[in-house]
Amino acid sequence: MSIKQTVLNPSIKRLIEEGFEIEIMRQHLLVHSIPYLNQSREVKLASLVCPFVENGEIDTQPLDRPYHVF
């Protein structure tokens, strides 16, 4: 039997519904498999990482910190 996780945060729920591959790890939101073009105009995939604090059902507000792409 698998356990279905419940997503209360509207921002996270919206990302999942829009098909983004997300992960929450050590108070950071990771959005994986984001396509971009490199300098050679080849499509590559990256992960966007930003600070994240769970607020239950309250929508997440972005922090005034830079985002990181890996």
pTM, entire model: 0.68
Q: What is the pLDDT of residue 53?
A: 78
Query: Is the model's pLDDT at 52 over the cut of 70?
Result: yes
pLDDT digits (tens, 9 = 90+) for 3-18: 455 667 888 888 899 9
39 pLDDT tier (thresholds 50, 70, 90): very high
Give the number of other Cβ atoms within 10 Å of residue 59's Cβ: 11
Residue 24, both tokens: 């929450």
54 pLDDT tier (thresholds 50, 70, 90): confident
* Count of alpha carbons within 13 angstroms of residue 66, beta-carbon side: 2
